[in-house]
A and B are shown apart, each in its own frame.
Chain A
Amino acid sequence: MKWLLKIIDAVRPTFEEGGKLRLLNPVFGALEHFFFAPSTTTIGAPHVRDPMDLKRFMSMAIIAVVPCALAALYLFGLRFIAIVIVSYAVGLTVETLFAMIRKEGINEGFFVTGIYFALILPPNIPLWMVAVGVAFGVFVGKELFGGTGRNLFNVALVGRCFLSLAYPKTLSASWAEPGRGLTGHLLAWNVDSLTSATPLAAAKQGEVTSFVHMFFGNISGSLGETSAFLIILGGVFLLITRVANWRSVAGILGSFVVLTGILMARDVVSEPMPTLFGSVLWHVFAGGLLFGAFFMATDPVTGPTTSTGKWFYGIVIGSSTVLIRHFTGYVEGVTFAILLGNIVAPVLDEIVVGIRIRRLRSEG
């Protein structure tokens, strides 16, 4: 690959200070560092570094959702590819513009946002809406706060939340019947729309979707959230690589199960399945809970950093999801619950850090 490095070195002056295309320096830098590791070396102690960098870190997050993405292709057709392309193209444009203004490098964080955002959209969403949503998410959710690492809210969820508040009717008309059989909708571009037929919405009208279908994913829902099995597969991978922390996931699922169980045992809410255990598990698999718990709430930037904080963060999200699902007009509550969790995360950190610092005061 020496020839590529030679080309890169040859065109470098054009993009540097004083060159003709210096405004595009972030783009050039991103491309260069995509292909080749940077040439910087350590200066003093420590003289060596861990191989992990943000590119690998974010790649892990992308690899984790590959099963879900493939399932989306199978279940909802090739349109998913178009949604991903629009999401990346528009989001990267906004990201690049800001990188140029700030004269910083383009951050890898967006490559995760781009695919995650596509996976939480309804299958038949108009493409222009994808563009609007991702642009809003990146601009308001991230760049206004100062870019990757400084954002308060999960970028993909800000975009999704904006769409569901701004275009509720179009969104609820964008659900699609999932593909079945050997090829599913793999060969189809457009899949017929259904109205309000996600399992949670259907359950409110008394129709209970089969548990097995929810486990394997051939149900109606957002592109990537339908298959509980594949989400758990990717999620566990993410937890093992320690890119995501298990504490917030455990906090969310634990508090969700406990609170739903209590509410059902007391007959405050109705049980969709014959047994209590089955009903609770049905609710865990329904909607975006698993996807949110494994992939959205584990975003290290917008969650708390301390271990204790992560537990409470999970509990806040898990229990508010239950409350929103059962006691409000919304059928799905994970998006709002996680955004709420993002708000309390700094507060939780503040408290935990305060306690830790008080404990540190007595040290040696």
Chain B
Amino acid sequence: MKFKGGYNIYLKGKPDGIVHAMPEPTVLHLPLKSQRFTFSDIHVKDGQKVHAGDALAKDPDNHAVPLLAPRAGTVRLKVDEDYIVLEDVAQLDERADIAEEQMAHVEKQLGASGTKRVKLLSLGAWQFFYDAFTGALPDPLGTPQAVIVSTLSLEPHIARGDVQLQKRLLNFTRGLEHLQSLLEYQPIYLVMPDIKSEFATKVRNQIRGYAWAKMLEVPLIYPYDHFAILARRLGLKRDAGPVWAVRAEGILAVDRALTLTKPCTVRIISIGGIGVNSPTHLKVMPGYPLQTIKDNHISEPAARVINGGILTGETFGEGALGIDTECRGITVLPEMQEREFLGFVRPGWGRRCYSPSYLSALRLPFLERYTTGLRGEGRPCVACNYCAEVCPAGIMPYLIHKYLYADLIEEVEQARVDLCIECGLCSYVCPSKIDLQTQLIEAKVLIEKEKEEIRQEQLRQEKIRQEEEAARKQAEEKAE
């Protein structure tokens, strides 16, 4: 498969390449929910004093991935239902929350590779891993068919891999070696923006001679860095087993966990967008108070603060107190305040558009000020085909929209709605302002649910059949 579709949005407020350390917090609000995880299995009591690196809670549905305490402090559970609050936070020695006797047991059962994997999981490095096709957390004890390591982040304005890797190139290559030691012969694909750049040359010199690492150059068009797109581009098939995917920060976490045996809690996130004093990168830990970040960095009073990028991120809710364990960036977008007068007849020198229908088509790409406005009213689909052109997954969003309108779920499934990677470009370009992405996601959920129901029904019938068989046998035995 070749790369298809894709489109770059140039949003003002691009973060610079500097990493700022935020002031030490006094209170941490650790959210129990993030994009993939729900830490429902709480391991601490109210008022308990914890060390940095202690597991506060675990997610039972995701291989018991832990929520680690980034700092020492006192636990408060009842302040807010969705948070674990750490008070009297202090930067003391960290410790790895691993029971020695348990590790001995693990080593006996799983060998050296198994020990490393358990370490990755319990030290918080495993949460940086994704299953390339589903985006879920892969099984740490499973065997992947390949590993994709990406240094890219093409959605504006998510933390960039090259910033996170600054001065830590050695840690990166050491992390890659650690990762390789978990595998047997499976390849590691290293995805880079430009394999001839200085950065790439440095990496290549470091990993020279490693046959297991293969480099792949990717054009800088959103969303070609999406793991599912990369896996399909590499010709990896879903049936051939899981594909692990991890970004630069994940490799650094692997290095930290396996070389130093220390918990990985600090992350480098971006803060960008319009209304940010100076767009940059921040070094923070999960639970860092959102208000402190807002006070220090955001000047726009009426702005939407987004957890993630402008295309896939979620708005921080009213009551959001701290950043979660999976946050990769904060994007600020001003709310639309003024209704534009005769907007559609303007020449549009400063208005970039997917179709060259504004004067800006004569300009080179430039950073633009966006707001949350829908910029048009909702209309029926006119079949302009923009959504299918821009779709990186090669599906036809307008067709699925029409099938959904006519309630043809089976056709929706055949049109491969499951290939949708939820990049949001179809909704972005639609001139009729149809929220295609939401419809596709809803359709995916619906189909998944129906499939699950069918599976359950089959299981139930299987059970009934087995019971009947058993009863018949018993009856036969009795008759004999």
- Which A residues contact B (CB, under 8 angstroms)? 1, 4-5, 33-57, 59-60, 105, 107-109, 147-150, 240-243, 245, 300-301, 303, 305-307, 353, 356-357, 360-361, 363-364
Point out the residues of chain B lying under 8 angstroms from A240, CB to CB. Answer: 356
* Residues A47 and B311 in contact, CB atoms below 8 Å apart: yes
Q: Bound complex: CA of A9 vs CA of B427, how far in Å?
A: 29
Q: A41-B372, A361-B416 are in contact. Are A1 and B341 (CB under 8 A)?
A: yes
* Residues A52 and B416 in contact, CB atoms below 8 Å apart: no
Q: A50-B354, A51-B351, A305-B388 are in contact. Are A360 and B395 (CB under 8 A)?
A: yes
Residue of B333, B341, B375 near A51 (CB, 8 A) is B375
Q: Bound complex: CA of A240 vs CA of B361, how far in Å?
A: 10
* Residues B357 and A360 in contact, CB atoms below 8 Å apart: no
Stretch in contact with the other chain, from B57-65, B279-287, B377-385: B377-385
Point out the residues of chain B lying under 8 angstroms from A363, CB to CB. Answer: 1, 232, 394, 416, 419
Contact with A along B337-381 (1 / 0, CB 8 A): 001111111001001111111100100000000111111111111
Residue of A44, A59, A306 near B438 (CB, 8 A) is A44
Point out the residues of chain A lying under 8 angstroms from B427, CB to CB. Answer: 46, 49
* Residues B353 and A50 in contact, CB atoms below 8 Å apart: yes
Q: Bound complex: CA of A243 vs CA of B382, how far in Å?
A: 11
* Residues A48 and B437 in contact, CB atoms below 8 Å apart: no
B102 within 8 A of A: no
Q: Bound complex: CA of A262 vs CA of B343, how far in Å?
A: 50
Point out the residues of chain B lying under 8 angstroms from A44, CB to CB. Answer: 314-315, 438
- Which B residues contact A (CB, under 8 angstroms)? 1, 9, 11, 133, 228, 231-232, 236-238, 304, 306, 308, 310-315, 331, 333, 335-336, 339-345, 348, 351-358, 361, 370-385, 388, 394-396, 398-399, 414-416, 419, 422, 424-425, 427-433, 435, 437-438
Q: Bound complex: CA of A48 vs CA of B331, how far in Å?
A: 12
Point out the residues of chain B lying under 8 angstroms from A242, CB to CB. Answer: 355-357
Point out the residues of chain A lying under 8 angstroms from B437, CB to CB. Answer: 45-46
* Residues A360 and B377 in contact, CB atoms below 8 Å apart: no
Q: Bound complex: CA of A54 vs CA of B342, how far in Å?
A: 14
For the complex, would chain B's binding face be called helix, strand, loop or mixed by DSSP majority? loop
Name which residue of chain B comes closest to A245, CB basis.
Answer: B385
Q: Can you list 18 A-B contacts (CB < 8 A)? A: A37-B340, A41-B372, A45-B314, A45-B422, A45-B437, A46-B310, A46-B312, A46-B427, A47-B310, A48-B333, A49-B427, A49-B433, A50-B353, A55-B376, A56-B358, A107-B379, A305-B388, A363-B416
Q: A46-B424, A57-B384 are in contact. Are A149 and B398 (CB under 8 A)?
A: no
* Residues A49 and B428 in contact, CB atoms below 8 Å apart: yes
* Residues A53 and B333 in contact, CB atoms below 8 Å apart: no
Name which residue of chain B comes closest to A30, CB basis.
Answer: B377
What 8 pairs across the A-B complex have the smallest Cβ distances?
Answer: A53-B376, A149-B380, A46-B424, A55-B344, A36-B339, A41-B372, A1-B341, A48-B370
The smallest C-beta distance from B336 to any residue of chain A, in angstroms, reads 5
* Residues B357 and A60 in contact, CB atoms below 8 Å apart: yes
* Residues A37 and B375 in contact, CB atoms below 8 Å apart: yes
Q: Bound complex: CA of A44 vs CA of B344, how far in Å?
A: 24
* Residues B344 and A53 in contact, CB atoms below 8 Å apart: yes
Point out the residues of chain A lying under 8 angstroms from B394, CB to CB. Answer: 360, 363
Name which residue of chain B comes closest to A147, CB basis.
Answer: B380
Q: A47-B306, A53-B433, A363-B416 are in contact. Are A37 and B382 (CB under 8 A)?
A: no
Most B CB within 10 A of own CB, among A36, A47, A243, A356: A47
The smallest C-beta distance from A142 to any residue of chain B, in angstroms, reads 12
Q: A36-B340, A364-B232 are in contact. Are A52 and B355 (CB under 8 A)?
A: yes
* Residues A364 and B238 in contact, CB atoms below 8 Å apart: yes
Q: A39-B339, A46-B310, A48-B9 are in contact. Are A301 and B374 (CB under 8 A)?
A: no
The smallest C-beta distance from A310 to any residue of chain B, in angstroms, reads 9
Given contacts A56-B358, A57-B384, A363-B1, 13 further A-B contacts (CB under 8 A): A35-B342, A36-B339, A37-B344, A40-B378, A42-B374, A49-B433, A51-B375, A109-B382, A148-B379, A149-B380, A241-B361, A353-B399, A360-B394
* Residues A48 and B357 in contact, CB atoms below 8 Å apart: no
